[in-house]
Structures are given as structure tokens and as C-alpha cells.
Chain A
Amino acid sequence: MTGLATRYAALIRAAWLTDLQYRAAIAIWLVLGIAQPLITLAVWWAVAGGGEVGGYGQADFARYFFALMLVDQLTLAWDVWYIDRWIREGELNFRLARPLNPIHEAIADNIAYKMKTGTLVLAAWAGIALAWPAVRLDVGPARLALAVLAIALAAAIRFVSTYVNGLLAFWTTRATAIAELHFGISLFLAGRIAPLSLLPPAVAGVAGVLWFPYMLAFPVEVLTGGVTTAPDLLRGFGWQCFWLAAWIGVYRLVWTRGLRRYGAVGG
């Protein structure tokens, strides 16, 4: 285990140093990542006016979308873009020749990014919350612990599913297009456009058994107090664990098969 810890420390350090070279690019991604929830918030803010929409007033929307912004940054996964390149352009070769599964490099990269942007978004939120009481969260230590757990599980599901998506490049040149489609669906089913309770019941029902809300909406609701009862929390964490295990299973299958295919047709 200490061996793995040393490896992660080295990989995270390298990822940080690399990111330092791309400060401007990361700032732009961060702004884009923050802009989307803020724009959606502006729309709901106008729709709600002085009243409520589906039980959400302006302040509720503000809290929801600020939490969404934070959770989105903390669970962000973009791996499909570079795994697709590793596979198509043969950059996987030297990684396969090293005694470490390449997924660890991707995980380390994710941790490095999230430690940095998470801190930035949290600081920005704290600053805004000082001036704007509506976005302040009323969370005790217990709820905070639950939220941290929900965010960690969400990040893991999002990472593994995105990584698997990237591995589809073993078979298709359209892995990134599939990722775009996945993101498009998640706009609705993960709670990006609106809290899930505002979706038509049938759609919300379908979303509830898929992995989408557990990558985003569920940790957001845990953080903002939208999910409070023990059965709801248990159900949510249960689905998170189920989908994480399922995606890890899919990863194992796709990785083994993909390597075999790569080994069969070459890179």
C-alpha cells in the first residue's frame, strides 16, 4: 500500500506541476464550469419571481445551483478526452509497458485537479455567501460528513463511467462523441438544468434508477438539505454504491476486452 501511496504522491505532484503550466486554460475551464450553473440559476430566479416553483423559491434555487456548482467541480471528469488520444495515437504503449495500470495515472490526475479547483470554488462560495445570505448553507457536522461521502461516491461514479467511455476508443473513433451524448443526457437526468423534483414524474422516475442523479443531484440535495430523511438518504447512498460497483464491473470487463482487442489489432 505504501508503494501505491508513493506512486500517487509522485503522480499528483507531476499533475500539479503540469497544471501550473496551464494556469490560463484551467482558469477558463473553471469559469465555464461555474458559468453554466449560474446561467441556469438566473433563468430559474426569473421564473420563480417572488413566488415558488415546485416548492423552490428564489433563495432555494440559489442554494441549489451554488451547491451544484461546487459538486460539479468536485466530481468533474474529463478523462475520455485524453484516453481517447492515448489509444488512438499510441500513447498507451509506454503506459502499458510500465508496471502500473494507467487508470492510476488518471485517478491521480483527477485528485490533483479537484484539490485545486475545489479549494478555489469553495473560497469563491465563502466570499459570495458573506455578502449574500441566500446561498449560505445550514449544515451541521453530521450533514457535512454525509455530503462529503456523497460527493466522494459521486466523483468516483463519474470518474469510472467517463474512463470507461474513454476506453471505448479501443473499438470506435467516436468515443468523445459518445461522451458528449452522455453529458447531454446528464443535463436533464443529473439535475443540471433543474432539481429532479421539477422534472415530470415519469422522467424523474427513470432518472432515479439510473446513475445520473447519483453523480450530481443527490450529493447536491444532501448538501442543501433537500434529502433529509433516513430512508431517502439510505436509498440514495444505496444507489450510489450500486452504480459505483456496477461501473467498476463494466470497467474491468471493458479494460480486459479492450486490451485484448488492442493486442489483436495493434495501436
Chain B
Amino acid sequence: MPAILAEGLTKHYRVKVREPGLGGAVRAVFRPRYRDVHAVEAVSFRIEPGEVVGFLGPNGAGKTTTIKMLAGLLHPTAGRVEVAGFDPWMGGAAFKRRFALVLGNKQQLMWDLPPEETFLVNRAIYSIGWADYRRTLDELVELLRLGDVLGRPVRQLSQGERMKCELAAALLHRPEILFLDEPTLGLDVTAQETIRAFVRDYNERYGATVLLTSHYMADVTALAQRVLIIEHGTLLYDGALAALAERTLPVKRVTLVLAEDVPRAALAPYGAVREYAPPRVVIEVPRRDAARVSARLLAELPVVDLGIGDPPIEEVIRAVFEGAQIGEAR
């Protein structure tokens, strides 16, 4: 049984259109006009237990709407969803004990109280026994390094500390499925890394399934082997992160450090010059030619150092959104 199954998942909204100005406001009262928003359009995917999947897309692409449908907060307009064997909309309390939903821009921690008070409320709400609660909390405190944070009011915590506590609050009942919507939003690099390491560890330790959206590619590259890419509500790509680069931007970047200046024009015959900051230059070449071109560069130019790498994943994703050689969805 898959952990998460979406078949033809579709969500359309009807929103009121308001023209600007007083006239528009008055017209909207007497003759309201509506517009259909196709937030998610026939999206299908299947996630197996224990998988960590990155969910990518620009703002408004339909990521959060999809996650909310998977968590049972939104009712799909069409299509079928199954999460942990439940229909999320009908699943009730039994279903809600199986997953955790963490929304990076909304918090469940009680603002005026230390985080542990929220943990205690969740302990009661999820009917977690004291022994289990203590054991899980100790683990979470250790993994997330929360030791000195538990006793301070939430409002006094840094954003990174708050997010770590949000994760702890959401995971006390040891959910087998995690929906993480922008869990690293607005965090500094160190806090982002702690959270990444924690999610990886939680996944390995409990075999939890994780669906993660993030604006930070580093989150996705660090955690997910597989990505779903969505834009305008449509799934553009579902597959391995590594294959995405090959399929979308089948190029390699050759980085050179030169012993002496070589004019830019002299580099052009080898490939597209991406960066020219002598002594360091970056040349982009077709993937299949990378080895041959590198050999020529070593032979023909005063090369001190040479490295071959993939284009940054951000560029790959951008290329996907720009419609450049979009691979077919799996």
C-alpha cells in the first residue's frame, strides 16, 4: 500500500473578482463577478512508505493546496486521494493521528507560554501515554538541540528555535507521514541545516514518509532523492532529482583556473562561457562532450586546475519552469 496516493487530484476555486475603486466595489455588490481558479489540475503521484519527496514550484503553483488536500483540510473538486489508507476528508481522528502537518508560515505553539506547554496540550490531544511522551520528547530535544529552549516563552525564541519547537510539537505522536510546508522559511543557514539533519534522521529512524515543500533548493537536494515539480496546478515532473538535471539541462560546467589570461574569444570555441573572471572561468559544454572538451582544454590552454560539475539545481528548476526541454512526467 502506498503511503500517499493521488489520482487525478483536482482543485478549482471560485473567487469573487473585485475591480479597484469605489465603482468597482459598488458593482461587486450588485453584480458580483466570479473567476474560476484552477489551483490543482489532475495531479497524480504515488509515494511509497519511507520515501522523502521534494515538492517544488513557484508561489501559487498549487503546492500548499495539494498538501492541504492530502491532510484533509480541503475537499478535492475531483480525483482520488488516499493517505495511510484513509480518505483524508473522511478519515477523522484515526487518520489525524497518522500524520503531522507543519506549515512554515503558521504556528501552533502558544505564543505566551514556553513550548513545553504546547507539547503537554498535544500530549493530551493525541492521547500519548506519559512514558511514550517522555521518551519521544527526550529524543526530540536531543535531536533538535532544544535543551535550553523548552522553558522560555515562545515569543522570546528566535525564528529558528520556534520552528524546531514547531517540529517537536507536531511529531510528539510519532506520525508516519510528514507534510512539511516550507519548514525552513526565513531561517538562517545553521537553523536550516539543523532542521534538514533532523528530518533526515526522523525519516531514517522511523521510516516516515516525508513530503516537503521548500523555496530553498538546498533543503530538497539534501533530503529528497525524488522531486515533484508543479506549476499552474499541473505536475511537470515526477522523478529522481539527478535525472532531472540530465533531462532538462543536459550540460556540464567545466571550471578552469588558468595560469595566464586567455581572452574570452579564445575560450568560445570550447563552449559557452558562463563566467569570465580570470584566472577563473566557467565553460558550459554538452554533457556527452564534457570529457573530450576537458581533454582539449588541458592540452591547449595553460590550465592550473580543472573541475567538471552539474549546473546548479536552481538553474535546472528555472529551466523546467521556463519550459526548456521539459521531461515527461513519469
Tell me the number of A-to-B contacts counted with CB atoms below 8 Å: 87
Point out the residue from B15, B101, B113 that lies within 8 Å of A94, measured CB to CB.
B101
Q: How far is the CB of B168 from chain A (nearest CB, A)?
A: 14
Interface hits, B108-125 → A, CB 8 Å: 108, 110, 112-113, 117-118, 120-125
Point out the residue from A99, A262, A264, A266 that lies within 8 Å of B126, measured CB to CB.
A99
Given known contacts A18-B112, A265-B13, A266-B68, A98 and B125 CB-to-CB distance under 8 angstroms: yes
Binds A, one of B71-79, B137-145, B199-207: B71-79
A265 to B74, CA, bound (A): 8
Chain B hits for A267, CB < 8 A = 68, 73
Binds B, one of A2-10, A46-54, A147-155, A246-254: A2-10
Point out the residue from B75, B94, B127, B153 that lies within 8 Å of A263, measured CB to CB.
B75
Chain A hits for B123, CB < 8 A = 10
Chain B hits for A97, CB < 8 A = 71-73, 96, 99-101
A91 to B103, CA, bound (A): 10
Point out the residue from B68, B73, B110 that lies within 8 Å of A14, measured CB to CB.
B110
Beta-carbon contact of A99 and B73 below 8 Å: no
Interface hits, B224-247 → A, CB 8 Å: none
Beta-carbon contact of A266 and B65 below 8 Å: yes
The answer, yes or no, to whether A229 is at the interface (CB within 8 Å) is no
Interface hits, A89-122 → B, CB 8 Å: 90-91, 93-100
Chain A hits for B68, CB < 8 A = 93, 266-267
Given known contacts A97-B73, A99-B96, A10 and B120 CB-to-CB distance under 8 angstroms: yes
Beta-carbon contact of B73 and A7 below 8 Å: no
Given known contacts A260-B75, A266-B68, A267-B73, A99 and B124 CB-to-CB distance under 8 angstroms: no
The answer, yes or no, to whether A32 is at the interface (CB within 8 Å) is no
Q: Interface of chain B, helix or strand or loop or mixed? A: mixed
Most buried by B among A10, A91, A97, A260: A97
Beta-carbon contact of A14 and B96 below 8 Å: no
Beta-carbon contact of A94 and B108 below 8 Å: yes
Beta-carbon contact of A14 and B108 below 8 Å: no
A265 to B36, CA, bound (A): 11
A3 to B93, CA, bound (A): 13
The answer, yes or no, to whether A69 is at the interface (CB within 8 Å) is no
Beta-carbon contact of A263 and B117 below 8 Å: no
Given known contacts A18-B113, A98-B96, A98-B126, A10 and B75 CB-to-CB distance under 8 angstroms: no
Beta-carbon contact of A17 and B113 below 8 Å: yes
Beta-carbon contact of B75 and A6 below 8 Å: no
Chain B hits for A7, CB < 8 A = 124-125, 127
Chain B hits for A93, CB < 8 A = 68, 73, 101, 103, 106
Given known contacts A93-B101, A264-B13, A266-B74, A18 and B110 CB-to-CB distance under 8 angstroms: yes
The answer, yes or no, to whether B270 is at the interface (CB within 8 Å) is no
Chain A hits for B39, CB < 8 A = 266
- Chain A, residues 7-28, CB within 8 Å of chain B (1/0): the string is 1011101100110011000000
Q: Please name the residue on chain A nearest to B111 by beta carbon.
A: A18
The answer, yes or no, to whether B296 is at the interface (CB within 8 Å) is no
Q: 5 interchain pairs (CB within 8 A)?
A: A13-B120, A17-B112, A22-B112, A93-B68, A266-B65
Chain A interface residues (CB < 8 Å from chain B): 3, 6-7, 9-11, 13-14, 17-18, 21-22, 90-91, 93-100, 260, 262-267
Q: A10-B123, A99-B93 are in contact. List 6 more A-B contacts (CB 8 A).
A: A6-B124, A10-B121, A90-B103, A90-B106, A98-B96, A266-B13
